[in-house]
Copies of this chain bind each other. A is one copy, B any other.
Amino acid sequence: MAKIRVLIVGGTGHTGSSVAVVALIRPASIEKPAVRALQEQGVEIREGDLEESEEDLVKALAEIDVVISCVGAPQQQCQIPLANAAKKAGVKRFVPCGFYNGGSSSRRHVAAGSEVVYNHIKRLWLPYTFIDVGWWYQLAFPRLPSGRIDYAVLNATNEIIGGGTVPSAITDLRNIGRYVAKIIADERTLNRMVFAYDTLMTQNQIYDLLEELSKEKIDRNYVPDEALYARGAVVRQSIQENPNDRHQLHLLYLVEYQLSWGVRGDNNPEYAKYLGYLLSKELYPDFEPTSFRDYLESVINGSAKHPYAS
């Protein structure tokens, strides 16, 4: 098979850093350490900006087979000129920013703008693959009372949604690049949605496993479904009053994600399949995911990394 030329947009972010070949970098960012690190790994850097002219974007996409967009949730709309340019440049597969857990259901809530982008891609008749992933291993575990894993914990509220019995798909952040590399080279995934995940666990199972491995008794802060809906209503009200309050918008993401995976149970391969997704487990039965037990052991022994560490 001829080598596939892949262009990454937003390749210096947290999802993007694990998949990169050619990176489109804004002139203003070209001197950033993260960009230099990409170059040192042999990644070709192309200067370009999603806000420049379509003509320049088409040039930046010359001879690119696959475009993978890893722009942030607030930059969803910037993908529209990128998709237009990709269509003109003859790109063979466009992977918009997705990588949501729970697939299209949580996407509708967490990043409504992305639905507009997905529909725009379909209007263009631009070949695509939409990739969603399970919740990250790196975000799926609570803090320990001893504090010894605080270095790796993002959210220390130790909230368990409902009774903690809803199964939810989880994925090692470090595997996303491996999945994406397989998916973009696979004809079966062209013009399809793919849901990639490593394993399926309930919150209770996760807490039990971490207790077993750490020999510590973990605080379990149960949050009834109703309390979560009420929290969502308060945040929405606050956003209605101050639509640009980034802190509240972030809280809305969190609560919508919790409702999606913790209450509705959207973040589930069976539901993804019902929605029309192909599943990584069925596409790549030989893929060996990192085990969550191994990952938690690395957290306890101090060798894990905070997911937003650079």
Contacts and interface: CB of A to CB of B under 8 A. Distances in A.
A104 B74 CA distance: 26
Q: How many copies does the complex hold?
A: 2
A271 interface: yes
A215 interface: no
Contacts of A125: 271, 274
Which of A105, A123, A191, A274 lies at the interface centre, i.e. has the most chain B CB atoms within 10 A of its CB? A274
A105 B123 CA distance: 7
B105 A191 contact: no
A244 interface: no
Contacts of A119: 108
Interface in A267-300: 271, 274-276
Contacts of A5: none
Interface string A251-264: 00000000000001
A27 to B, nearest CB: 35
Nearest to A192: B276
A123 B271 CA distance: 10
A137 to B, nearest CB: 26
A250 interface: no
Please give me the 3 A-B residue pairs with the lowest Cβ-Cβ distance, nearest first: A191-B274, A122-B275, A125-B274
14 contacts: A104-B122, A105-B122, A108-B119, A122-B274, A122-B275, A123-B264, A125-B271, A125-B274, A127-B274, A191-B274, A191-B275, A191-B276, A192-B276, A276-B276
